[in-house]
Structures are given as C-alpha cells and as structure tokens.
Structure 1
C-alpha cells in the first residue's frame, strides 16, 4: 500500500470529490521507522486527508482550490510528537508508569499491562495481590495463565491485553465485528438546515467553527489539535476528577483553550448543554454509551442542536462484545497481533510494539478528517452527522497494507534528525519545543494560534 493508494481509499470511503486528489503531493516511502508495518504510508495518508479536507473547507469559503503537500518524514515526526516534546531543553517526557509493559504468564503466553493512570495501577495490583514493583508484578503474573488473567482484568474494568497472533485475533467475535465495519463512518443522524462554513473570517479553513473536545491522552486530543491548527475554536473540557498525563496535556493542548466541568453534577451538565447549543463539532473519546448515559449521546445532541457534527473515538469500535472494553493504542496492538508480528520479524524475546503510537495518531487524524467532511456536507445539504472511528478499525486497515520483511532493521529517528520539523513557543510550562503540523497548505498554512495551557485555565464559555 502506497501513501497515494491509502489516501485514495480514505477519500473514496468518505464519498469525497475525486478531483480534489489532484491537488495533493505526497513524497517519501516506507520504511521511515523501524517496523515491518507501513507506518509511513499510514501517517502520510491520514495527515494528507486531513489537510485536503481543510483545503476543501477553504474552497467552500472562497471558491479557490489550493495545493496540499505531505512529506513522509514530517508525517512520521507528527506521529511521534509526544516523544519529541521538550520543555526548556529538558529531558524526554516521562509517558509511562514503570509497571506498564509485557509480562510472561505461567502457560508461556505474554500479556501487556497498561497502568499509566493511578487507579488502573491500583486495580491491577489488587487483582494480583502484590506490591507496586515491577519484579513483584512479574512474579505474580507467572502464577496466572494468560487468557484467564486477560479476562479477569477486563471483567474488573482494567487495562490489559493478551498477546495474540493475527489468526487468534481474527477468530474472536470482536475482530469479526470490526471486520464488518468500514475504516470509518460518517452517518446522517438528523435533519437540519444547511449551514455555511463562512460564518467566521475566510482567512483560515475552520475560522469561526466551534469544537467541544471531550477527550484525553492521544487519539481524540490529536483530532482536536488538528482542527485547531486549521483555525477552529477548540474548547477542551476535562472533568475535575479525571486523570491526565502531563506531557500529553502540553503536546495535544496546543491551539486549544481548556476548561473543567463536572458532569456528575447537574450544573456541569447544564453548562455543557449550553456550550453544545452553540457548537459545530462535539468530539468525544469516552467509552461507547458513557456520555449517552448523561444525556450527551449523538441522537440527543442532534435533537437539541440540529446541525451538530458528533465525533466518537473508541478503542475497539462501537459493535461487538469488546465495544465497552477499556483500551489504548498499545493494547490494541497487543490484542490484534501487531505486537506479535513485530516480535516474530525481529526475533525478539518479548513482544514488540510499533515505533510510534500509530493507531492513536492515525485515528485522531481520521476523526478530524471526518469532522471536516461532515461540516462540508452540512454546508451543502444540511443535517446532523455522526462520525465514528476506532483504534481497532485503524489497526485492521494498517495490517492490510502488507509487510516490509526487513523494515525492523531501519534506523530509528532521533530528536536531532527532526529539529527542522519543530518550533518553540513560550507557555506557562516554559519554552515548549514541539512538532509542527506536517500538512503544507499553499494558501492557508496550518499553525497553532494559542500555546498550550494547564487543564482548566479558561472559563467554560465561548469567546
């Protein structure tokens, strides 16, 4: 799969104008990072789709097309943005809890734990009955069979994944449910009059577009960040009780304002309803059904805000027995056979993940692409829209690209290799050095109008 073919697939699934593809230039070829998977093609295609969707939004405003260019090296830097982030020339950010990682089980299988949130770590330690030390966790896991521990942790609402082969994954009902879905969905869910995109200034593709971003960590926040760097007014909404990972708040908070609302309280729900009434896009990455239980499902919002574009980001998709299972990029890699395949190709003793959070980033860009595509449909024909993406659907697509037998031998890419892809900005955290948008639009360059801010730095209102 080349970047061009992957981009064409995205564009075709969405039913977009094929003539627009003539405006895109893609350069570079896999492998760009040490992997047997065509991660560069995934990065270039999803970022190019986002850039081209932004260009189409701008064309609706002005009537003029513009060229879009993506260099694979820059796209891969963007897919590793959290790794390259630096504050005041300090050390690389700490992104993982020490207990997170791979462990061998009693029956010779491997399982991955994900314990980057304190309450997930406590839950795992309680199930295992051991101390918060990696050696103690490893010893406890050697007393379990892999499948039994995987199911026990899932039943407890915790974050783990048994390392499966691709064939083992394909045999599961969840994999079969995902196989029935397209790469993403853009579905009309209600009637509403057409709304032109040009209710803001015409200097940026999404000027005047209001986005509520109810997401954390990487996939959803990357989607909101992409909408921000094309000019949207993005208001990030966090709960006061919800954990975050500080470097990701900084990296993915660029271009956004940030507020806190407690949706466990009636006042918080009332405020969010008021914000949604004046929003164009409602982006959320809670587990399927979680926000609907509080009155913020897609159909409910479409009734009270006709014309809303509702974007749902999930781990394992909205259908199948795992739809409500907690998941992260690395866990989906482990469950679906990606970590097994990387290990097998490289001959490693342990499972091996992709060299970046490729499923997170690609899914985030697909979510942003879907949101912009739905906005252009709303401008043309009206309606309320629901965009659905998932890490597992993206992972399945990547696995269909074909393999690079010796791709794992490719040299890694260090910070000094990508400094030309980065820029500095002063913020309340200090001087932030971070990767810049990889898509190059000839007339409306992507950029961040705001520096990153702490969670809750702003009031929960539109400017």
Structure 2
C-alpha cells in the first residue's frame, strides 16, 4: 500500500509521487495553477483531487518536452480552478442546439431496499435488461417495489450475477471490512509494470504549442474516464482513434461529450478480419488506452500483456472500476457505483446525522460527489501515465500502467475533509462548434498551453464513421 504523503506546496493532493517509477523524482512545477482553492465544498476535497490529478498530467508533459527535443518553456502547460471545475462537469455544461443532454436513464440512481439503500446503473440498454431480468420484472414501473422487497446486498448480488451493475450503499467501515474493500485498500493510484527497452524516441516534428503532435493513440475505452483522457490527449496534438463494438454502441450524449479531438470507428472483434485490423492499428500506435475487462480482451490478444508482447515499446494504460486484485477485479462498475460501495455516498448523505440504521429511515438519503470526479480524475491519471510512458522511452524504459476508479476514491477519502472555506463562484467559459449533430455548446480542455487556453481541434465526428487507419 502506498502511504499518504505530505501535501505539496500547493496544498493539493500529492499524486505526482505516483509518476516516480517511470520518471524518477518529479518536482512540483511552479505557478502551474491559479484561482480559488474551494468552489464545490463538501465532505471531501474534490477540488484538491481535480487540481492534483491535472498537476500530475502537467508534470508528465513537462518531462516529455526534453524527450521530444522541445523546450519546456516554449510550451508551458498550466491550469486554473475555472478550467478544472468546468471540465470535470463537462457533460452538464454541454448543449446540443441549445438543449441539455439527458444524462440518467429512468432506472438509474438510488433505490430504497428493505434494510438500506442500493445504487443502480441502467443507462446502457444491455445493463437495463440485465437489471429487469435479475429482479424478475417487466419494466421500470415495477422497479421500486421489487427492490423494496429485498435487502440491499441481495439486490447487489442478483443484479451483478445477471450481468448488470449495482452496489449496496455501504459506510467506509463496511467497505473496508469486505473482501473487495480489503483488496482495493492496497491499490496504488497508478500501478506500473516497467522494464528496460531500447530507447525508441517519438517523432521530433513537434508543432508549436502541441506537445503530442505526431503521437498515435488507440482508444479502446468507454463512458467517461478513458474517453476524457483521450479527448485531452487529442487536444494536445495526438491522433486519437476510438473504436467501439457494434453490438454495444456508446450512448450518444457520452459520445458528444467526450468525442472531441478524436475519430470514431467501429469494429467487431469477433470477426477475424476486423480483429486483425485493430491489432495492426495497435502495433502502429504509440499508446493504447484500455477500458474493457481484461478477461474480455485476453481472447482477442488486446489485453495489457499481449499488446506489450507484440510491441515492446508500446505504452499501454488500462482502467477498471475495482482494482486489479480481489474478488471484484473483473466486476463491472461506474463512478456512481463506486461512490455507493466505498462509503462516499454515505458521507454525502443528507440530512447529516439523520441516518439511524432503521429499516425505513425516511429522513436520510445517500448523496454523491458534486461531479463525477472519480471518472475525470482517473482519466487525468490515464493521460498522465500515457505521457509518462512516452517520456520514459528516452530513458530506455517501457511498460504499462493500470488505474482504477476505486484507487482514485481511496486517494480522495484519505485526503479527508478540506479546510472550511466559503466556496467561490467560478466563471464558466463556453464555446461553440458545428457538428454533424447540430451546434454544440461546450467547455474546453482544462489546460492552457503557452499562456493560451487549449481548445479541441474539431467537434465529435459522426459516431462510428471513421476508417480504421491512422492519419498520414
């Protein structure tokens, strides 16, 4: 288990220490962020997590500059409270022809069970069908009654067994005492696997202000964490190609939120010819981001170990929900589900102090973080890990990195309650872009490069229409 560290000079969560295996000592850059320290306020230091995770990416980008023959000062990267706050809440800021996205499906959210509360996630159609099958009901109108008939842990187990996504609302102590919680407690924020390799430098034709120009990133992730990482890598100049399976398409609102700065393709890995195309893309990539369960990827040769065996210098960054050891290592999970299981939903419950453990406590209800911070902070960690692995090439190191939503939750909960401060009102700058789906109003990336706010090079393309090939 990685012990907590003293906070850096900035007073934020010190996540930079997790870069040391790849980059050695990583000093904190000076004056890399500006703005108020508190704007959401609450039981946990979500602001410190947001800024701290961005600080890790900035530190990795600073290390990458010399490895690419670029002067660090010429492409100095910074952030601000306003940029971070808006980016971590990007989907709620999105508008399509003036309309906000429909974020939650009818069966997603907290439900009262017989003895406590449970959180369900049914945004994806196949997860919604699994939920209905697990509870033996025909439609959403029967959901509340069906959940109320069972204990929360029974609902969790039934839905998970059916291939759905659910978590009983636990206290932090209950989670720590569980098998999954015990295994996750020792999960570092970034788990590295590194070895010596012949130095393989990246292209040196760095465009002014674009640290990742010429870098190819294959994005095999979904939902928010991985796609938000690749969205930002694309804004930094990388050629990003995301590939999805046709049998489980991405939700349109998620595509519109995280599809900026990348292309979108579809491939059925069950078809030999299409699998061969994807594996060829991976062999020609500089970095691959993985967000599917490793057991699902092994049979296609697209898991961490197989990719690294095929291309020794390839930077592979993988994500899961619950950590890489223990009984839930292969379990499905989302930001909201992890919050419910690990004690965050309990900490944010309201009214404070009203929970008394009775079967039907009408006064208390579980809560949630002000934004999906586990997703976004883990995404920043994925982007930082990918950049660090690219920088490590010049040091003769190559390997992979693994992150998880629960490890991010652990770091947030270890940081404790922030100092009491009046939350500031942050300005939100939105931009507009024409897309195949209409006019999009959106917030930009959470970084400034060379003193100028970064922007995405293009709006999301029409989903699944990009050819399976790298840009020339």
TM-score (norm 2): 0.90
Is contact 2:14-2:52 (8 Å) kept? Answer: no
Which residue of structure 2 aligns with residue 359 of structure 1? 374
1:148 maps to which residue? 154
Counterpart in 1 of 2:400?
Answer: 386
Structure-1 residue corresponding to 2:38: 31
Contact 1:111-1:161 at 8 Å conserved across structures:
yes
Aligned with residue 390 of structure 2, among 375, 383, 388 = 375
Instruction: Please give the per-residue CA displacement for 1:74-102, whole angstroms capped at 9, x wherever unaligned.
Output: 21111000110111222x21011011111
Tell whether the 8 Å contact from 1:3 to 1:41 is kept in structure 2 after alignment: no
Per-residue CA distance 1:160-181 (angstroms, 9 max, x = gap): 0000000000111211212222
Look up the match of 1:238: 244
The 5 A counterparts of 1:85-234 are 85-90=94-99, 92-107=100-115, 109-134=116-141, 136-188=142-194, 192-203=197-208, 204-234=210-240
* Equivalent of 2:342 in 336, 344, 347: 336
Deviation at 1:5, TM superposition (A): 5.7
**2: CA distance between counterparts of 1:278 and 1:193?**
17
Deviates most, 345-354 or 2-11:
2-11
Note the C-alpha offset of 1:13: 2.0
SS in 2 for 1:99: coil
Q: 1:8 to 1:34 in 2, by over 3 A?
A: closer
How is 1:252-267 mapped onto 2 (pairs within 5 angstroms)? 252-267=258-273
Tell me which moved more, 171-180 or 314-323: 171-180
Deviation, structure 1 residue 17: 5.5
Q: Quick one: which of 435, 440, 457 aligns to 1:432?
A: 440
How far the C-alpha of 1:357 sits from its partner, in A, is 0.5
Equivalent position SS for 2:294: coil
2:412 to 391, 394, 398: 398
Give how far 1:150 is off: 1.2
User: What RMSD in Å do the two structures reach over aligned CA positions?
Assistant: 2.3
Q: Secondary structure of 1:206's match?
A: coil
Structure richer in helix, relative to its length: 1
The offset of 1:362, in angstroms, is 0.3
Shift of 1:228: 0.8
SS of the aligned residue for 2:68 comes to helix
Query: Is 1:73 the counterpart of 2:79 in the alignment?
Result: no
Which residue pairs with 1:48 in the alignment? Answer: 55
Say which SS state the counterpart of residue 378 (structure 2) adopts.
helix
Q: Deviations over 1:42-87 (max 9, x none)?
A: 1111112213322332333235223433222321111000110111
Shift of 1:404: 4.4
Gaps of 5+ in 2: 1-5, 355-362
Change (3 A) 1:2 1:434: farther
CA distance in 1, matches of 2:458, 2:213: 14
Query: Quick check: 2:244–2:250 contact (8 Å CA) kept in 1?
Result: no
Q: C-alpha separation between the residues in 2 aligned to 1:430 and 1:418? A: 25
Q: Does 1:58 align with 2:58?
A: no
Tell me the distance in 1 between the aligned counterparts of 2:165 and 2:410: 20
Contact residue 57 and residue 206 of structure 1 kept, 8 A: no
Q: Cα offset for 1:23?
A: 3.5
Displacement, 1:192? 3.5
Which among 276, 288, 297 is matched to residue 303 of structure 2?
Answer: 297
Instruction: Give the ranges of 4+ consecutive aligned residues of structure 1 lying more than 6 Å apart after TM superposition.
Output: none
Q: Is the 8 A contact 2:68 2:206 kept in 1?
A: no
- Give the aligned length: 452
Query: Aligned pair in 2 of structure 1 residues 457, 243: CA closer, same or farther (>3 Å)?
Result: closer
Question: Per the alignment, do residues 293 and 252 of structure 1 end up closer, same or farther by CA in structure 2, a change over 3 Å counting?
Answer: same
What is the deviation of 1:391? 0.2
Task: Kindly provide the CA deviation profile for residues 237-284 of structure 1, in whole angstroms up to 9, marking residues without a partner as x.
Answer: 111111322111011110001111110111111001111111011111
Q: Contact 1:238/1:455 (CA < 8 Å) preserved in 2?
A: no
Aligned to 1:447: 455
Q: Which moved more, 1:395-404 or 1:366-375?
A: 395-404
